[in-house]
Amino acid sequence: MRSLIQRFRTWRRQRAPRERTPEERHERRVLWAWAGVAFVALLAFYFWLTSARILAQPVEIDFGPRDPHFMGTLGPLLGAEFTAGNHVRLLSNGKDFFPAMLEAIARAKHSVTLETYIWSSGAISDQFIAALGAAAKRGVKVHVLADGMGTINFKREDRQRLLDAGAQFLVYGREHWWQIKPDINHRTHRKLLVVDGRVGFTGGMCIDDRWLGDATEHDRWREVQIELRGPVVRQMQSVFAANWLQTTGRLLIGEGYFPAAARDEGAIAQCFKSGPNEDPENARISYLLAIAAARKSIRIMHAYFVPDDLAIDMLLAARARGVEIEVIVPLKNDSRFGRAASRSRWGRLLTAGVKFFRYEPAMYHCKLMLVDDFFLTIGSVNFDNRSFGINDEVNANVLDDAAARDALRLFKEDRAKSVPLSREEFERRPWWQKIIDHFCGLFRSQL
């Protein structure tokens, strides 16, 4: 073997590189240019293929979200009927939702199911590992699903601590390390915590130190979670169970996961799943139907607001019928590319009178829309094609005046901390930024 290696090295030293002629260099450049064009063409075709495009026509309805026909239509379309008697609580930033979630785990008696996109090692990760491990050691069945891409910064030893305590921790779509997920572009972006099938949490939060605190610093993230109790939690559990089944081939069944739902006074709510392999475009349908139902106002709080052409047309139609539309977006977010693509979609909306506000104090990561100050949708869904057509997502829809008042209060608080954007200021962007925005917008189907 050593002799072969030495002979190879000698041959490499003796082989003098031949300088290419100008014609050869030109041919080589042409070849690489055509290869680049072919690559871009294939990439463009792939983007088109994976973009949300099932729902192609504008949604037109003659009733608002308070009309019984609204929930009577949206429930069956999303495969999740609205249920009455739910208790709703909006939790603002990590200072509120982390203690509530950890307390729920500490009180668990039968089961804990947790699904998240990002899990990074750190202080809050240690708290979740301790709480989940303690639950597993006292006999609670603990099931955790996380996305493979989102767990890059989750240390192997931290994962082992969970396993050693008796919790089950799996990467979505891969129960065993040797299994390969065929479509790496398809992620689980769902954020779910369900305890004993009786209390559930969803929103944009992940298990990462960036969500700690009260979003008073630029390196902390502004977030809103929803806590639900009541019959709708059974639907939340079923969303987790679907991905657990896809990953393991096993069902989660029994009263420990799906207890009998107690009937009580409270909010009307539903929880639906959306993903390319199950109920495709449910998230898109939910958003567009709510926009079509708007009669007075649409208030959008979104980290990634990249509406497609149909969504823009429907927002413009809402403006044409007199609906006030306000959108809070990040002044800065974690993706310059995504921010530029988002800006490429604002022009027509600003011209039509849609009001934009750029949140300044911290990274804005909210995923909430409020329609007519009555219909609230919140969860993992971003207002972009990746959430509408590529990733697995989960959202809770609530029809309730009290919950809407809480959401409106949060909206106004965030708006007061935001910088308004006028049409004139938007048009005064430097020419080079307009070009960058347009270029990034070409890739919006993947954002």
What's the pLDDT band for 124 if we cut at 50, 70, 90? very high
Asked if 365 is an active-site residue, the reply is: yes
Within a domain: residue 3?
no
Classify each residue of 105-144 as buried b or exposed e, where b means 16 or more C-beta atoms within 10 Å of its C-beta.
beebebbbbbbbbbbbbbebbebbbbbbbbbbeeebbbbb
* Residues 381, 395 contacting (CB under 8 angstroms): yes
Domain count, the chain: 1
Per residue in 189-214, pLDDT tens? 999 999 999 999 999 999 999 999 99
Asked if 372 is an active-site residue, the reply is: yes
3-state secondary structure of 254: coil
What per-residue confidence (pLDDT) applies to 435? 85
Within a domain: residue 2?
no
Which segment of 2-11, 88-97, 134-143 scores lowest on mean pLDDT? 2-11
Distance CA 363, CA 338 (A): 14
Closest residue by Cα to residue 63 from 407, 401, 399: 399
Cα 208 to the center of its chain, rounded Å: 15
Q: Please indicate whether residue 14 or residue 339 has the higher confidence score (pLDDT).
A: 339
What's the pLDDT band for 321 if we cut at 50, 70, 90? very high
Among 246-250, 259-263, 323-327, name the most confident range: 323-327
Mean pLDDT for the stretch of residues 275-304: 95
pTM comes to: 0.88
168 DSSP β-pair partners = 143
Tokens linked to 48: 């088109």
2 has a pLDDT exceeding 70: no
For 442, residues 6+ apart whose C-beta sits below 8 A from its C-beta are: none
What's the pLDDT band for 278 if we cut at 50, 70, 90? confident
What per-residue confidence (pLDDT) applies to 294? 98
What per-residue confidence (pLDDT) applies to 391? 92
Cα 250 to Cα 239, 243, 246, distances in angstroms: 14, 10, 8
Among 141, 143, 186, 189, which one carries the catalytic annotation?
Answer: 189
What per-residue confidence (pLDDT) applies to 189? 94
Mean pLDDT for the stretch of residues 214-228: 93
Within a domain: residue 321?
yes
Among 158, 196, 400, 406, which one carries the catalytic annotation?
Answer: 196
* Residues 350, 420 contacting (CB under 8 angstroms): no
359 has a pLDDT exceeding 60: yes
Among 25-29, 136-140, 334-338, name the most confident range: 136-140
Among 141, 186, 191, 273, which one carries the catalytic annotation?
Answer: 191
Q: Please indicate whether residue 241 or residue 179 has the higher confidence score (pLDDT).
A: 241
Within a domain: residue 33?
no
What's the pLDDT band for 418 if we cut at 50, 70, 90? very high
What per-residue confidence (pLDDT) applies to 41? 65
Asked if 208 is an active-site residue, the reply is: no
CATH value at residue 283: 3.30.870.10
Within a domain: residue 121?
yes
Which segment of 23-37, 216-230, 245-259, 366-380 scores lowest on mean pLDDT? 23-37
Q: Please indicate whether residue 255 or residue 176 has the higher confidence score (pLDDT).
A: 255
Angle made by CA atoms 334, 435, 335, in degrees to the nearest 5: 5
* Residues 367, 380 contacting (CB under 8 angstroms): yes
Single-letter amino acid code for the residue at 196: D
Among 372, 384, 392, 406, which one carries the catalytic annotation?
Answer: 372
- DSSP, res 383: B
* Residues 128, 100 contacting (CB under 8 angstroms): no
Closest residue by Cα to residue 204 from 16, 330, 368: 368
What's the pLDDT band for 186 if we cut at 50, 70, 90? confident
Task: Provide the percentage of residues in the chain whose pLDDT is more than 70.
Answer: 89
Helices (H), ranges, 15-143? 22-49, 68-78, 94-106, 123-137
Domain encompassing residue 163? 68-446
What's the pLDDT band for 362 if we cut at 50, 70, 90? very high
Single-letter amino acid code for the residue at 230: G
What per-residue confidence (pLDDT) applies to 16? 55
Within a domain: residue 88?
yes
Mean pLDDT for the stretch of residues 261-280: 88
What per-residue confidence (pLDDT) applies to 177? 60
Q: Please indicate whether residue 71 or residue 432 has the higher confidence score (pLDDT).
A: 71
Per residue in 62-100, pLDDT tens? 999 999 999 999 999 999 999 999 999 999 999 999 999
Within a domain: residue 392?
yes
Within a domain: residue 40?
no
15 has a pLDDT exceeding 60: no
Among 302, 365, 406, 417, which one carries the catalytic annotation?
Answer: 365
Asked if 367 is an active-site residue, the reply is: yes
What's the pLDDT band for 47 if we cut at 50, 70, 90? low
What per-residue confidence (pLDDT) applies to 447? 58
What per-residue confidence (pLDDT) applies to 118? 95
